[in-house]
Amino acid sequence: MGPTVPAHLAVSAPEGLSRRARRFVEVHGLCVPQQDIRVHRDVWLSHGIPAEEIDRAVAFQERWGGIALPPAPAYEGGPRVLEADFPEGPASDGWRFPAGDCRVSMAYGFMIGPGGEFGIDADCWTPLHAGTEGWVEALALAHHAGYWARTVTKIKGDAVDDLDLDGFETVPEVQGLTDTWWRGKDSLVAVYRGEAVGFSAPQCQEAHIYGGLDRWGLGCE
């Protein structure tokens, strides 16, 4: 048996995740103290932030705030802890608010977009997944695939465009936008294009190929 997680750090996975992602969150995640951003409402309103944008940030905080997950394979690991903060805008494509602080010094931050998208604010706003659920599903799938794969191959830059994904199907639960996951007969492919799009730098795109997977390893549910 593994070490027991203290009760005050245990995570109850939010509804709407796959069984694999729920287990990932509850086994590998921690729940740390979170700030109550509702106390900032009057100040934020005085700064011209619309009430509906504050409500979105509060809803995110109530659902995801304080959840700390293992690092992602890309984006220097992703947010250290999921945490909403001061909404930013208005922009031409709507308001956004932070999704949590970076683990290391980065040239961008993680944000929640006007439609609930999870993405990065690089040189331009770049949504990675259609929702935070998609980001968490992708984390869970990367952890699962990395454990069960017989081989893991990483490629970068122009080589990503040469990937032959004929016969592969997209993995819908990751809600891929700029980043996508693909399932083949015995392999999974994760394609990370967020930094390439966000900085107009195609050399930054990356793909991870998990090979030698059986049906369980493919994460078929």
Q: Where are the domains of the chain?
A: 7-134, 150-211
- Residue identified by tokens 């700390």 is 68
Average pLDDT over residues 24-44: 93
Q: At what angle do helices 51-64 and 132-148 cross, to 10 degrees?
A: 30
Predicted local distance difference test score (pLDDT) of residue 1: 44
In angstroms, rounded to a whole number, what is the distance separating the alpha carbons of residues 60 and 78? Answer: 17
Q: How far is CA 22 from CA 18, 81, 117, 190, in A?
A: 6, 17, 20, 20
The number of helix segments (H) and strand segments (E) in the chain equals 6, 11
Residues shown for the chain: 221
Q: At what angle do helices 19-28 and 132-148 cross, to 10 degrees?
A: 80
Average pLDDT over residues 103-111: 96
In angstroms, rounded to a whole number, what is the distance separating the alpha carbons of residues 168 and 153? Answer: 17
Residue 205: closest CA among 168, 167, 156: 156
- Residue identified by tokens 């308001």 is 95
Supply the pTM of this predicted model. 0.93
Q: Is residue 7 pLDDT above 80, yes or no?
A: no
Predicted local distance difference test score (pLDDT) of residue 2: 44
Predicted local distance difference test score (pLDDT) of residue 93: 81
